Amino acid sequence: MVKPYVMGIDVGGTNTVFGVVDARGKIIEAGKMKSPSETAESYCATLSVELNKLIEHVGGKEKFNGIGIGAPNGNYYQGTIEDAPNISWGKGRVVPLANMLSAATGISTVLTNDANAAAIGEMTYGVAKGMKNFIMITLGTGVGSGIVVNGTLVYGHDGFAGELGHVIVKKDGRVCGCGRKGCLEAYASATGVARTAKEFIENGGTKSLLAQLDVNNVTSKDVYDAAMKGDKVAIAIFKETGNILGEAFANFIAFSSPEAIVLFGGLSKAGKFIMGPIQEAMDEYSLGIFKGKTKLLMSDLPESDAAVLGASALAWEIK
């Protein structure tokens, strides 16, 4: 019998957030702590104490179907976090966090990367409810993705599938955080938009409101604010970003013929400035048989809860 609760944990670079979630997707208890600053072992020990408090508070471990963890570079098959970006556990370190937390709480625990968790969250509680084929794209400090085919998340042979943020969209383009050149993430992440802004201003965008700011510190939020005031350069920056995203999406569509592409994260809030150009490029570059068939949707999960909900949704799948 399925038990009434699951626990969702999102391991972020700065904070770790967690919560007890019921079958309707309501977070009934929540907590937060600073993400790993020292060793993986001390992190796990501190987190376990916090989790056990919540578990006791709602009636003990028997009430839990499982614990789900979303983490950068999370590996579903191994339950490990491998060489996690922004987390100082040592270069190349593979941390078996799922096993560690399972041992500390007595509850079965699964782990995947944060964008995969977001995809399962949308499928369980969000706009992708009932969909069997869709692609989740998270637009934040990086660009993440989760690919759902026939109702199942695609993990690939090694547990790492779905790194669409690192598809190369420009040959010999910008250097990406992964060390290669021209990745989608280098253009469509929040920092990618900021880099585009710097290029546009330096290439003659002197009349833009953005030119009044320190060009090295312009953020995607600044670009949004300027676009809202009708600034043509800011609007062109989103158009350029949307074009790159839409063209990439047309390629993704050829791969798995998704019913929808679901966007989540800061940049998706740029609304019409980005969604219009994405849709146009998607329509323009899609193969004929796919044209006009894939919906472009925005997540409707509250941003503050989405990470915990996504991770928690994974734990309903534990049999």
**Size of interface with Zn ion, in residues (CB under 5 A):** 4
CB of 114 vs Zn ion, minimal distance in Å: 16
Residue 318 in contact with Zn ion, rule: CB under 5 A: no
By beta-carbon proximity to Zn ion, the closer residue of 148 and 183 is 183
Binding mask 179-198 for Zn ion (x = CB under 5 A): ----x---------------
- DSSP output for the chain: ---SEEEEEEE-SSEEEEEEEETTS-EEEEEEEE--SS-HHHHHHHHHHHHHHHHHHTT-GGGEEEEEEEETTEETTTTEEES-TT--S-TT-EE-HHHHHHHHHSS-EEEEEHHHHHHHHHHHHSTTTT-SSEEEEEESSSEEEEEEETTEE--TTTS----GGGSB-STT-SBPTTSSBSBTHHHHSHHHHHHHHHHHHHTT-TTSGGGGS-GGG--HHHHHHHHHTT-HHHHHHHHHHHHHHHHHHHHHHHHH--SEEEEESGGGGGTHHHHHHHHHHHHHHS-GGGTTTSEEEE--S-HHHHHHHHHHHHHHT--
CB of 173 vs Zn ion, minimal distance in Å: 10
Residue 244 in contact with Zn ion, rule: CB under 5 A: no
* From candidates 6, 16, 137, 166, binder to Zn ion by CB under 5 A: 166
By beta-carbon proximity to Zn ion, the closer residue of 176 and 210 is 176
* From candidates 28, 178, 215, 318, binder to Zn ion by CB under 5 A: 178
Residue 162 in contact with Zn ion, rule: CB under 5 A: no
Residue 167 in contact with Zn ion, rule: CB under 5 A: no
**Contact window for Zn ion (CB under 5 A) among 20-28, 106-114, 166-174, 282-290:** 166-174
Residue 176 in contact with Zn ion, rule: CB under 5 A: yes
Query: Site residues (CB under 5 A) for Zn ion?
Result: 166, 176, 178, 183
